[in-house]
Amino acid sequence: MTSQYSSTAEIQKLDAAHYLHPFTDHSALAKKGARVIVKGQGVYIWDSEGNKIFDAMSGLWCVNVGYGRKELADAAYAQMLQLPFYNSFFQTTTEPGVRLAALLTEIAPPQFKHVFFSGSGSEGNDTIVRLVRRYWDLQGQPERNVIISRWNGYHGSTMAGASLGGMKGMHQQGGLPIPGIVHIDQPYWFEHGRTQYPNLSKEQYGIEAASWLEKKILELGPEKVAAFIGEPVQGAGGVIIPPSTYWPEIQRICDKYGILLISDEVICGFGRLGTWWGCEKFGFRPDLMTFAKGVSSGYVPLGGVMIGDRVADVLIKKGGEFTHGYTYSGHPVAAAVAIANIKIIREEKLVEKVATETGPYLAKVFEALKEHPLVGDAETCGLVGALILVKNKSPIQLFDEKLEVGMVCRGHCFSNGLIMRAVGDRMIIAPPLVTTLKQIDELAALIRKCLDLTWTELNNRGWLT
Ligand code: PXG
């Protein structure tokens, strides 16, 4: 362990005294003490007490190439010595930024020939709001400024990101959403479609869920609607995988009303679903895409927006100066690391592996987990997956939300060397794209063990009857 502190207790004490964590009740954490993560290798991380943990969340949906990749460290080191920073304002540029922009347009769908860099996904989505409104201003339609998004979508934590997102708990703090952002319901078959549309197949429900966009457009007036934004698969919302019919229908509706279509690829981009981009998996053609996380496998902060020709042509030809940018837009060290990261994804054929080997294998393993008495449904898409914990399987009966059964399960994962997240009673994973078939078996065994422990605890508490 390479730490300047002598013990876990000391780090925890300093942490509690000074460090406000994201999305955390500080007082509650200070009482418990944070787990201190000290090392990572492949799909594993270690805490300061020496526990080895299978990180089935890839850090936070980002360490796509796994931990401990020397190539990325070397790229950062070399670039830091050569030129640690220079900006790309005032008629200057740096080679890593240029090369990364070119590389991204090579791997993106053909309509994308331009990139705007940010430092994170949230900043990328702030850029999206600015870009979308600038585009319609330049088109002589400034009143077209409403962006439609979805409840339970996640688009970041800045003012614009949190506003685009549909997390009601976030809106309650800070007077959100900002004006001009409205939400429609998410395409959530298991919770909503299955119960409220019992006569529709999942595919028919996908069309129905997409029709809510058209209803909202007509309610607002199409001349007011600038864009629609969504994640191909909702990540932070609990790995909500839409029916296959959903996105093509959303595309049709956006085309019909001339509305810009935005794919937030912060989680789905860079191979997560077995395609380079989530929009490729679901068959739609966005005008703008937000990216972050997997672009650098989380080794350094980096994000941005891929700008499709429809927007770029107007912005570049008619736009003059776009009065927007960040100090770290195109940061040379971040760009150098991203280039090395994309090289690994390509050379190790990680996207193809997810599509043909590990993704299908994870799907099989999750299908088998459906036999567990607590698992009401199991879904995967590439290397994301969700297990839904239920009280009863036939007929399906959900747990009382207040029991926070997902957190009980997460507690067992935490104590048994597995990082798996709970979103309500959905237990979700997004393991690194380098996870091997053998490691998927190991993951399945860990999950099964934690489900068994959860079942025993719930049974002892009398929550299963
Ligand atoms: N869009 C999407 C789709 C995301 O998942 C962001 C934007 C914002 O990116 P930054 O880099 O600003 O965090 C995200 C981030 C969770 C969780 O609880 C997910 C994210 C962030 C924090 C927590 O699953 N995703």
pLDDT digits over 333-376, tens only? 999 999 999 999 999 999 999 999 999 999 999 999 999 999 99
Q: How far is the CA of 267 from the centre of ligand 1 (A)?
A: 7
**Per-residue confidence at 430, pLDDT binned at 50, 70, 90?**
very high
| From 21, 55, 57, 61, mutation site for ligand 1 pocket: most ligand atoms within 8 A of C-beta | 61
Q: Is the pLDDT of residue 3 over 80?
A: no
Q: Is the pLDDT of residue 6 over 90?
A: no
Residue nearest to atom 20 of ligand 1 (CA): 236
Q: Count how many Cα atoms sit within 13 Å of the Cα of residue 125 in the half-sphere of its side chain.
A: 28
**Residue recorded with tokens 């003490």:** 33
Q: Is the pLDDT of residue 5 over 80?
A: no
126-160 residue pLDDT tens: 999 999 999 999 999 999 999 999 999 999 999 99
3-state secondary structure 298-317: CCCCCEEEEEEHHHHHHHHH
178-193 residue pLDDT tens: 999 999 999 999 988 9
| From 23, 24, 60, mutation site for ligand 1 pocket: most ligand atoms within 8 A of C-beta | 60
Q: Is the pTM of this model over 0.85?
A: yes
Q: How far is the CA of 412 from the centre of ligand 1 (A)?
A: 24
Helix 405-415, helix 437-460: angle, nearest 10: 130
Contact assessment for residue 300 and residue 67, using Cβ atoms and an 8 Å cutoff: no
Q: Is the pLDDT of residue 120 over 90?
A: yes
| From 58, 277, 293, mutation site for ligand 1 pocket: most ligand atoms within 8 A of C-beta | 293
Contact assessment for residue 149 and residue 231, using Cβ atoms and an 8 Å cutoff: no
pLDDT, mean of residues 29-49? 96
Q: How far is the CA of 156 from the centre of ligand 1 (A)?
A: 5
Residue nearest to atom 10 of ligand 1 (CA): 121
Helix 437-460, helix 359-369: angle, nearest 10: 20
User: Cβ contacts of residue 280 below 8 Å, gap of 6+?
Assistant: 109
**Per-residue confidence at 437, pLDDT binned at 50, 70, 90?**
very high
**Per-residue confidence at 411, pLDDT binned at 50, 70, 90?**
very high
Provide the strand spans (E) within 141-238: 146-150, 181-184, 225-230
With b meaning 16 or more CB within 10 Å and e meaning fewer, what string describes 316-330? eeebeeeeebbebbb
**DSSP, res 43:** T
Q: How far is the CA of 120 from the centre of ligand 1 (A)?
A: 9
Instruction: Tell me the torsion sign for CA atoms 104, 110, 116, 121.
Output: negative
| From 120, 267, 291, 407, mutation site for ligand 1 pocket: most ligand atoms within 8 A of C-beta | 267
Instruction: Tell me the torsion sign for CA atoms 35, 37, 41, 43.
Output: positive
Element (H, E) at 107: helix 95-107
Report the distance separating Cα 248 and Cα 245, nearest Å: 6
Per-chain mean pLDDT for the chain? 97
Residues having CB closer than 6 A to ligand 1 are 60, 120-122, 125, 154-156, 161, 231, 235-236, 264, 266-267, 292, 303
What is the atom index within ligand 1 of the atom nearest the CA of 428? Answer: 24
Q: How far is the CA of 202 from the centre of ligand 1 (A)?
A: 27
Q: How far is the CA of 161 from the centre of ligand 1 (A)?
A: 9
Q: How far is the CA of 61 from the centre of ligand 1 (A)?
A: 8
Q: Is 93 helix (H, G, I), strand (E, B) or coil?
A: coil
Q: How far is the CA of 238 from the centre of ligand 1 (A)?
A: 12
Residue nearest to atom 22 of ligand 1 (CA): 60
212-241 residue pLDDT tens: 999 999 999 999 999 999 999 999 999 999
305-315 residue pLDDT tens: 999 999 999 99
Q: How far is the CA of 153 from the centre of ligand 1 (A)?
A: 10
What is the atom index within ligand 1 of the atom nearest the CA of 123? Answer: 12
- Strand 37-41 and strand 44-47: the pairing is antiparallel
Q: Quick one: pLDDT at residue 456? A: 97
Q: Quick one: pLDDT at residue 4? A: 58
pLDDT, mean of residues 240-263? 98
Report the distance separating Cα 391 and Cα 18, nearest Å: 41
Q: Is the pLDDT of residue 2 over 60?
A: no
**CA dist 324 to 165, 320, 339, 350, Å?**
22, 12, 24, 35
Domains annotated on the chain, with CATH: 35-65+349-461 (3.90.1150.10), 71-347 (3.40.640.10)
Contact assessment for residue 427 and residue 421, using Cβ atoms and an 8 Å cutoff: yes
Q: How far is the CA of 391 from the centre of ligand 1 (A)?
A: 30
Q: How far is the CA of 444 from the centre of ligand 1 (A)?
A: 25
Residue nearest to atom 17 of ligand 1 (CA): 236
Q: Quick one: pLDDT at residue 465? A: 86
